[in-house]
Amino acid sequence: MVGFSRLSLIATVAGSVSAQLQKPLFTPSEEVLEADYTGSKPLVDTEALQARIKIDSLQKRAEALYEIAKSSEEEFGHPTRVIGSEGHRRTLEYVTSEIGKLGDYYKFSTQAFPAVMGQVFQSRLVLGHIVPESAYPSGSMSLTPPTHHKEPVYADLALVDNVGCDASDFPEEVSGKIAFIKRGKCSFGTKSELAGSAGAVAAIIYNSEAGGLSGTLGTPSPNHVATFGLSGKDAGPVLEKLKAGDSVDSIAFIDSVVNTINTTNIIAQTTEGDPDNCVMVGGHSDSVTDGPGINDDGSGSLTILEVATQLTYYSVKNCVRFAWWAGEEEGLLGSDYYVATLPDDENMKIRLFMDYDMMGSPNYALQVYNATNAVNPTGSEQLRDLYTNWYTSKGLNYTYIPFDGRSDYDAFIRNGIPGGGIATGAEGIKTKEEESMFGGKAGDWYDPCYHQLCDDVGNVNATAWLLNTQLVAHSVATFAASFDDFPKRETTKAASLVGFDLWIDIERQSQRDNTFFCLIGDELQQQGFGVVGRNFLALDDLDRYIHLRFEYS
């Protein structure tokens, strides 16, 4: 799952750059097919498909994926499957090989696309006499450029007015200094760009809350400067000094690189089934730089690989299309690119998209995206109810989470395709209520190893992973057999509302990030509302309970 404040980083459209990976992928025709899956089969049945899902098979796949991640150790010093790495290349080979073993049950294709990625090799930040632990650019500010000549810069801090989203927020004294900027209202990339334009030699973006800060600078700009993220806790003493008029001499150093590479989506579609009525299922094939990503999103990508494998024992009425997206951790690149290049007639053939990202967090909650037909493409609510009805039928609790734009469903629902999915939690904090519902430990992250080196084979909860893979099998089988009672597609546009009244309870939405996710962010921005990235309505200066009336069509 991608961190907050992501931006689309696709560099160009298909055909304008070489479509080759750094090393070639195997193709199904090059594999020795181990079985013939042609012939008469029974129509897929949800109970039968669920029964074929075994935890032993999933865990063996996880072990194989971790060994694949270790192939990046020579280059990165630790296991990783970040795009551009040997670990990611071999992940793509593994998925390709496994699909190739399934004979002609699937039609297989790849989609190469260019993507911007970055790597931080070394960094250091000293504020006065303190080295803040939270200043970690490889995890906090991805796609940061290096400091000048990749050398340390020595300068005083300069406090930026407001939240650093306008050129007027940067006083003349910022030039030659390190800009100290509060989080909020606009993207991290905009803040860094304005700091660079004002002559700052580096920038520090500090959180408005005690916790740490993560995100990306987004699409590279020549005016971006080396940028650190800082927790609100670490920023507090520094702010006191700056507001008192004291100087804070500092040292900033980042050795990093930002470049464009080619990477690849993998698509496998059933040969049989109505091609004009497709069930689409996706997970992402990459990890962050800092770890092997066995839960995020090895658990999701291996779940759909296992379901795709077991589905071959059955026939389908509607086509099923599985996707392994590349570049999710760099800003949902693969799924954005796929949807952006779909002609309208192909878009309309996708009846719904189901996203499976992080299926087995150790301190899990059983989470369902709270999609409603009022603000999401029609059919999203029916998909949500399919998940909750399944949990209820098993005597299991579940909790709703908002569509917050952090996973690959985003491009689909923005382009009129009903979407939904389930998850088990990332860096959010488990509540006391959730502890009573799911067990685990309140006050801890759902995934204590989220985006870290320890996201290895031992970081996946087997109970949650098996349950959710069975639910994925149920969702695939249900729609592969029938779209009866499921709304027909009518548009390639996102939901559009007229005179829609919305009460926002920030405590129940993205309080930690102080934003409220809204699909209609573009329209709100046109009406003067602040929008973070393209999907977030900034609420920094508003009351906790807000009433908005949207009047547009």
Strand partners, 419: 353
With a pLDDT cut of 90, the percent of the chain lying above it is 72
What is the β-pairing status of strands 106-127 and 249-270? antiparallel
Choice between 34 and 120, residue whose per-residue pLDDT is larger: 120
pLDDT surpassing 70 at residue 526: no
Q: What's the pLDDT score for residue 3? A: 61
Give Cα separations from 400 to 268, 333, 406 (angstroms). Answer: 30, 26, 15
In the predicted model, what is the mean pLDDT of residues 277-304? 98
- Report the distance separating Cα 553 and Cα 550, nearest Å: 9
Choice between 265 and 10, residue whose per-residue pLDDT is larger: 265
- Report the distance separating Cα 203 and Cα 186, nearest Å: 15
Q: What's the pLDDT score for residue 403? A: 83
Cis amide prior to 540 (ω within 30 degrees):
no
Token pair, residue 257, equals: 């690189």
- Report the distance separating Cα 169 and Cα 201, nearest Å: 16
What is the β-pairing status of strands 227-230 and 202-206? parallel
- Report the distance separating Cα 71 and Cα 77, nearest Å: 10
Choice between 297 and 527, residue whose per-residue pLDDT is larger: 297
- Report the distance separating Cα 22 and Cα 457, nearest Å: 27
- Report the distance separating Cα 329 and Cα 437, nearest Å: 30
- Report the distance separating Cα 179 and Cα 203, nearest Å: 5
- Report the distance separating Cα 28 and Cα 285, nearest Å: 18
Cβ–Cβ under 8 Å, residues 319 and 482? no
CATH 3.40.630.10 domain span(s) along the chain: 28-115+260-481
Token pair, residue 233, equals: 């806790």
Helix 86-100 vs helix 55-69: crossing angle, to nearest 10:
140
| For the ranges 88-102, 106-120, 329-343, the one whose mean pLDDT is highest | 88-102
pLDDT surpassing 60 at residue 513: no
In the predicted model, what is the mean pLDDT of residues 345-358? 98
pLDDT surpassing 80 at residue 530: no
Q: What would you measure as the largest C-alpha separation in the chain, in angstroms?
A: 80
Choice between 487 and 544, residue whose per-residue pLDDT is larger: 487
Q: What's the pLDDT score for residue 529? A: 39
pLDDT surpassing 60 at residue 22: no
- CB neighbour list of residue 378: distance below 8 Å, 6 or more residues apart: 418, 487, 490, 495
Question: Looking up tokens 């799924």, which residue turns up?
Answer: 335
Per-residue pLDDT tens for 357-367? 999 999 999 99
Cβ–Cβ under 8 Å, residues 219 and 116? yes
Q: Which helix (H) or strand (E) holds 536?
A: strand 536-538
Cβ–Cβ under 8 Å, residues 306 and 469? yes
How many degrees, rounded to 5, is the angle at CA 290 between CA 406 and CA 441?
65
In the predicted model, what is the mean pLDDT of residues 157-185? 97
Instruction: pLDDT band for 481, please (50, 70, 90 cuts).
Output: very high
CATH 3.50.30.30 domain span(s) along the chain: 129-247
Q: What's the pLDDT score for residue 286? A: 98
Per-residue pLDDT tens for 414-467? 999 999 999 999 989 999 999 999 999 999 999 999 999 999 999 999 999 999
352: helix, strand or coil: strand
pLDDT surpassing 80 at residue 550: no
Q: What's the pLDDT score for residue 95? A: 99
Question: Looking up tokens 């469903």, which residue turns up?
Answer: 409
Q: What's the pLDDT score for residue 494? A: 73
Q: What's the pLDDT score for residue 99? A: 98
Give Cα separations from 190 to 23, 165, 221, 276, 464 (angstroms). Answer: 35, 7, 9, 42, 39
Instruction: pLDDT band for 405, please (50, 70, 90 cuts).
Output: confident
pLDDT surpassing 50 at residue 541: no
Instruction: pLDDT band for 120, please (50, 70, 90 cuts).
Output: confident
Half-sphere exposure of 354 (CA within 13 A, CB side): 33
- Report the distance separating Cα 501 and Cα 520, nearest Å: 13
pLDDT surpassing 90 at residue 218: no
Q: What's the pLDDT score for residue 133? A: 85
Give Cα separations from 298 to 306, 329, 456 (angstroms). Answer: 12, 12, 9
Q: What's the pLDDT score for residue 493? A: 82
- Report the distance separating Cα 195 and Cα 201, nearest Å: 8
Task: Please check whether the domain covering 129-247 is classified as CATH 3.50.30.30.
Answer: yes
Residue type at position 207? N
Active site residues: 328
Q: What's the pLDDT score for residue 140? A: 60
| For the ranges 216-225, 228-237, 269-278, 541-550, the one whose mean pLDDT is highest | 269-278
DSSP for 217-286, written as a single string: --S--TT---EEEE-HHHHHHHHHHHHTT---EEEEEEEEEEEEEEEEEEEEEESSSEEEEEEEEEEE--
Report phi then psi at 106, rounded to 5.
-120, 145
Instruction: pLDDT band for 47, please (50, 70, 90 cuts).
Output: very high
Instruction: pLDDT band for 211, please (50, 70, 90 cuts).
Output: confident
In the predicted model, what is the mean pLDDT of residues 489-507? 52
Choice between 98 and 505, residue whose per-residue pLDDT is larger: 98
Cβ–Cβ under 8 Å, residues 446 and 424? yes
Other CB atoms within 10 A of residue 349 CB: 18
Half-sphere exposure of 466 (CA within 13 A, CB side): 11
pLDDT surpassing 90 at residue 297: yes
Instruction: pLDDT band for 136, please (50, 70, 90 cuts).
Output: low
pLDDT averaged over every residue in the chain: 85
Cβ–Cβ under 8 Å, residues 303 and 296? no
Instruction: pLDDT band for 374, please (50, 70, 90 cuts).
Output: confident
Give Cα separations from 527 to 153, 287, 379, 551 (angstroms). Answer: 41, 37, 28, 10
Architecture of domain 28-115+260-481: 3-Layer(aba) Sandwich (3.40)
- CB neighbour list of residue 340: distance below 8 Å, 6 or more residues apart: 10, 13, 411
Half-sphere exposure of 106 (CA within 13 A, CB side): 32
pLDDT surpassing 70 at residue 39: no
- Report the distance separating Cα 79 and Cα 14, nearest Å: 31
